[in-house]
């Protein structure tokens, strides 16, 4: 299923404590951002990539794209203060009113192509589909360090990106959120507010987001495993 992808890459990555954009850190000698871009560069169904960037990092990223032969990036709009605003900036710049739009964190370099295929198919059929994995741990709602409730693990999923939507649905959800001043932690939350069913497609546990220093070790281990 053909699609375009929006990659928010304009975060500051404070939790990584890298002193600069964590997406420039390398795994096996290659920047995290390029690992992620490569997945879409190599997917024949990916028609275009839109990258939200910090304006002051645009040149550095442009050079990276050139050095690593990334050709599908069609635009690099300025990101916003929040991830949601960065994604919206890309969707506006892409100006796509039909077809499928995928939103994927640039900080998740290990997304499996097979998950993208499943996800885009489901989004094509239903309008909205996101990647997730079943929760492994027991989850409890806690307030002031006291348990209020133990949640039924059978119903709990840890949600990742990509999140795939029919363009018209994502745009409507983003417009409504902007109008209401609503801030969500993912795009699905915006679509849920329209009372549209969002389908969850089973992904893999190695689709981790590079967030803290420990994630870099996990990332190196994943790449090593994949090379064996
Ligand atoms: O900070 P976190 O890793 O959760 O952000 C997820 C993705 O969103 C990252 O790829 C980051 O660069 C991006 N982001 C963004 N604009 C922001 C905040 C985060 O593009 N204001």
Predicted-complex ipTM score: 0.98
Q: Is 11 in the pocket of ligand 1 (CB under 6 A)?
A: yes
Q: Is 8 in the pocket of ligand 1 (CB under 6 A)?
A: yes
What are the Cα distances from residue 162, in Å, to 141, 188, 203? 26, 10, 10
Determine the pLDDT at residue 13. 87
Determine the pLDDT at residue 203. 98
Query: Does the structural domain 3-227 have CATH classification 3.30.360.10?
Result: no
Query: Taking the model in full, what pTM does it have?
Result: 0.97
Determine the pLDDT at residue 19. 87
Q: Is 10 in the pocket of ligand 1 (CB under 6 A)?
A: yes
Q: What is the pLDDT along the chain (228 residues), one digit of tens a residue?
A: 999 999 999 998 899 999 899 999 999 999 999 999 999 999 999 999 999 999 999 999 999 999 999 999 999 999 999 999 999 999 999 999 999 999 999 999 999 999 999 999 999 999 999 999 999 999 999 999 999 999 999 999 999 999 999 999 999 999 999 999 999 999 999 999 999 999 999 999 999 999 999 999 999 999 999 998
Nearest CA to ligand 1 atom 7: 105
Determine the pLDDT at residue 46. 98
Q: Is 41 in the pocket of ligand 1 (CB under 6 A)?
A: no
Long-range Cβ pairs for the range 29-34 (8 Å, 24+): 30/68, 31/64, 32/106, 32/107, 32/109, 32/210, 32/219, 33/9, 33/61, 33/64, 33/106, 34/64, 34/68, 34/70
Determine the pLDDT at residue 137. 97
Determine the pLDDT at residue 140. 98
Determine the pLDDT at residue 12. 87
């Amino acid at each position: 299923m053909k699609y375009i992808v929006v990659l928010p890459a304009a975060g500051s990555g404070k939790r990584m404590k890298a002193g600069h954009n964590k997406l420039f850190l390398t795994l096996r000698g290659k920047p995290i951002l390029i690992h992620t871009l490569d997945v879409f560069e190599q997917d024949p169904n990916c028609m275009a990539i839109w990258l939200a960037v910090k304006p002051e990092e645009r040149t550095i990223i442009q050079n990276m794209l050139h050095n690593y032969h990334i050709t599908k990036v069609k635009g690099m709009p300025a990101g916003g203060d929040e991830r949601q605003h960065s994604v919206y900036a890309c969707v506006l710049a892409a100006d796509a009113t039909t077809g499928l739009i995928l939103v994927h964190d640039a900080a998740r370099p290990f997304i499996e192509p097979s998950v993208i295929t499943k996800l885009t198919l489901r989004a094509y059929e239903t309008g909205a589909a996101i990647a997730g994995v079943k929760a492994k741990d027991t989850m409890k709602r806690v307030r002031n360090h006291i348990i209020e409730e133990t949640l039924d693990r059978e119903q709990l999923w840890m949600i990742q990106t990509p999140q795939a939507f029919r363009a018209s649905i994502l745009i409507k959800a983003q417009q409504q959120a902007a109008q209401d001043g609503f801030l969500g932690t993912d795009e699905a939350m915006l679509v849920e507010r329209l009372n549209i069913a969002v389908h969850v497609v089973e992904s893999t546990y190695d689709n981790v987001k590079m967030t803290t220093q420990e994630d870099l070790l996990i990332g190196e281990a994943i790449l090593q495993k994949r090379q064996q």
